[in-house]
Structure 1
Amino acid sequence: MKSSQVAQEPWIRRFLSSPGATSAPARAQRTLLVCLPHAGGSASFFFPVSRALSPALDVVAVQYPGRQDRRHETPVDDIPELARQVADALGPVDGRPVALFGHSLGASLGFEIARLLQARGTDVCHLFASGRRAPSRSRDERVHLRDDEGLLAEVRELSGTDPRILGDPEVVRMALPALRADYRAAETYRYVPGPPLTCPITVFTGDNDPKVSADEAGAWSAHTSAEFDLRTYPGGHFFLTDHQADMTRIIRERLAPVAPQSSSSA
């Protein structure tokens, strides 16, 4: 693998490319946007984001172990450990800027990955945190300790999964181990104090999200020494499915100033 490429299978999925932007040198001219799914989610959740932002950005999504084509692998139920594995899987990025976009569990994970990458000298240019309280804010949540039906009831209440999927016993049986591990990771995560990120943070939140209060969303401001922006949308925990166009517009605008300029060629 050439140093200017980002690692691919099994962790990193790149859904779209365009003519003239498929080679490693071409990708090296664009900011890398790494998308991180919610609990129970998969990389394919971010296909619409990839479609909206490619080829201006090099959009990839992370596939956690234990789901879909990785369903035979053991899920990771600890956010710091998962962050380390994702950071390692990204591999060398050849000096170009990296942005992170995570929803719910993925937002906490994105924060920890950003900390690791910055400590390793990678240029993390932005963190987009969606549907998640600030790392320094915790709740006593124990959904991961419920029985299977209790866990599924929580998923149904948040309305982030197609009801047809939840109605298929075989699919549910295969999904439950990863879903429980994800909830355990999210609910047992505890912030370890350290220096704030040096990149801007943009937070997206729903005004009726039972998992995030306005105060908890605003508390992300303490985790960066750079700019902070809070965007509130109508909706619950999965507000982003109804507001994708505006959110991707904001991501594009925030990342445009840091996108490397293409070098001239004869």
Structure 2
Amino acid sequence: MSDAVISLAKARPEATVQWLFLHHAGGSSYPYLQLANQLSAANEAYCLELPGRGARFMEPLQAGAAATLASILAAVRQRGLGRDKPLMLFGHSLGAELAFQLAGQLQQQAPQMQLGLTLSARVFVDPAEPGAVPEAPLSDQAILNLLQQYEGTPPEVLADAALREYVIGVMRSDLALLADLCRLPKPALALPVRVVGGDSDFRVPVARLAQWQQVFRQTITPQVFTGGHFYLFSCPEFVSWLEQCGRALLCQSGQADEAAGHPV
């Protein structure tokens, strides 16, 4: 089952850093696998596949945060991610909420793991703030409006009645999962973190990106690229920035090992 939950983009035994990409609401691993394959041989990338899509198409959709996180954690352990190499979690939109909670649990369960975190295109939500947690589910038309606003779904998919119904169903489940994740506490995390977004993403303004500062013990300056909510698939500079993040995590991990008396 771990092979279906987390897909390997390309086997790279010589890689020095591992990545786990966690996809957006209504999405799948497919565009992230394409993105991961643009990384150099120093990076070995894995991509999450939530139930009900891709290789897990026949599985029922899952909207519960606890069960979803448990399945991802089990797959991370079975895959051995972060065991021998630094692991960077990259979460986009819904995936950012998953990545944050996953990072917290991994730090608790495997404190020796060299872990980094990148949160993409996701506003900071304080579960203690009244009205901050989004309502779900939405009507079919409201979900369709969201899909059209985000511009991440091909128009031909939404024009086909059967495909449109399927995509709306997946999105409704993922929005319920997002709401459930947002209700979870957000403890302060001490790990290398980056927050990133697009300059024309009207749903995730830069100021909201910066609010993630509240739960990290380092200064956060959001990285902003040209583009909207799905800037990462269109901005030509983005892959090289990911490479820099991977090298920085490797460097930080080496420094941590030396400080602990274990030279790399």
TM-score for both structures, normalised by structure 2: 0.82
1:212/1:96 Cα in 2 relative to 1: closer, same or farther (>3 Å)?
same
CA distance in 1, matches of 2:8, 2:71: 18
DSSP-derived class of the 1:136 partner: coil
Cα RMSD, aligned residues only: 2.4
DSSP-derived class of the 1:228 partner: coil
- Partner residue, 1:12: 6
| Aligned residue among 238, 242, 245 for 1:251 | 242
1:49 aligns with 2:35: yes
- Partner residue, 1:141: 134
Question: 1:101-120 residue pairs with structure 2 within 5 A?
Answer: 101-120=90-109
| Aligned residue among 108, 122, 131 for 2:121 | 131
Q: In the alignment, is the contact (CA less than 8 A) between 2:125 and 2:133 conserved in 1? A: no
Give aligned-pair identity as a percent. Answer: 23
1:74/1:141 Cα in 2 relative to 1: closer, same or farther (>3 Å)?
same
Instruction: Give the aligned residue type for 2:247.
Output: A
Give the Å deviation of 1:227: 5.3
Instruction: Give the aligned residue type for 1:250.
Output: W
Give the Å deviation of 1:155: 0.4
- Partner residue, 1:40: 26
**After the TM superposition, which of the residue ranges 97-106 and 178-187 deviates more from structure 2?**
178-187
Question: 1:90-239 residue pairs with structure 2 within 5 A?
Answer: 90-91=76-77, 92-93=80-81, 94-121=83-110, 123-136=113-126, 139=132, 141-142=134-135, 144-188=136-180, 189-194=182-187, 196-226=188-218, 228-239=220-231
TM-score for both structures, normalised by structure 1: 0.82
Give the Å deviation of 1:183: 1.0
Over residues 129-167 of structure 1, what are the superposed CA-to-partner deviations in whole Å (9 max), with x where a residue is unaligned? 11101243773533x433223211210111011111112
CA distance in 2, matches of 1:54, 1:70: 28
- Partner residue, 1:87: 73
- Partner residue, 1:264: none
- Partner residue, 2:261: none
CA distance in 1, matches of 2:248, 2:223: 20
> Is there any run of 5+ residues in structure 2 with no aligned partner, and where?
255-264
